[in-house]
Amino acid sequence: MRLLKIALVVAGLCAATAFASPTAPRNGAEYTTLKAPQPVQAQGKKVEVIEFFMYHCPACYALEPDMLAWVKKQGDNISFRRIHLPLTGENDPEAHMFLTLDALKLEEQLHAKILTTWHVERRRLKSDADNIDWAVKNGVDKDKFTNMYNSFAVITRLKNAGRVATAYQVDSTPTLVVDGRFLTNPTMVDASNPGTPRQMLNTATLQVLDALVEQARSKK
């Protein structure tokens, strides 16, 4: 009888694994639903997709090409934006850089260059001086950058960045939030689909994202 019970448990586990699929994600496995849904900026029938990331994060850098291709493919179906997780708190220099460039409407234009600086050139931007020097060398007016960098608006957003991450229940990157309600990331997808080849994990994560976007759209 004991052997029979063990066999049934093993069979159940195998069946659960067999039916696990990024194209049919399960709440509590490939994704979770936020306890407190957050307001979205997307209008009309567009579905908001947020990528929580950090400039220095290797997994974010690895996801970037596939993420950009996915966003392009989605077109007008979604509204995509990034939020930089403030790893070291309310004075985090990376988040400070992101918020400044975002306020100057330069973040999208310079995003790839910053990732190249961190992950190809292996140059760490770990201070205000590093950020200012980088910005000037990459064509940003020094006075405009420093004025915005030290502005009340940017400093306030920086101090609130930790609370934003907490509201979205985000503590690692990359993490993706759909429609202010559904959260997923490669780690969750990997844990729920053991045996997924490492080179296929980003693709699997974006398959989960496809399903979540469709789920959110169907309820609009």
Is 204 in contact with 22 (CB distance < 8 Å)? Answer: yes
| pLDDT tens figures, 97-108 | 999 999 999 999
Whole-prediction pTM: 0.88
CATH architecture, domain 91-162: 3-Layer(aba) Sandwich (3.40)
Residues of the chain with CATH 3.40.30.10: 30-36+45-85+170-211, 91-162
| pLDDT tens figures, 126-178 | 999 999 999 999 999 999 999 999 999 999 999 999 999 999 999 999 999 99
Helix 58-74 vs helix 201-218: crossing angle, to nearest 10: 40
Is 57 in contact with 173 (CB distance < 8 Å)? Answer: yes
Residues in CB range of 111: below 8 A, 6 or more apart: 82
List the beta strands (DSSP E) in the chain.
Answer: 32-33, 47-53, 78-84, 175-178, 182-184
Q: How far apart are CA 194 and CA 114, in angstroms?
A: 33
| pLDDT tens figures, 190-218 | 999 998 888 899 999 999 999 999 999 98
Residues in CB range of 74: below 8 A, 6 or more apart: 49, 80, 213
Cis check: omega of the bond before 93, within 30 degrees of 0: no
Side-chain half-sphere CA neighbours of 148 within 13 A: 20
**How many distinct helices (H) and strands (E) make up the chain?**
9, 5
Looking at domain 30-36+45-85+170-211, its CATH class is alpha beta
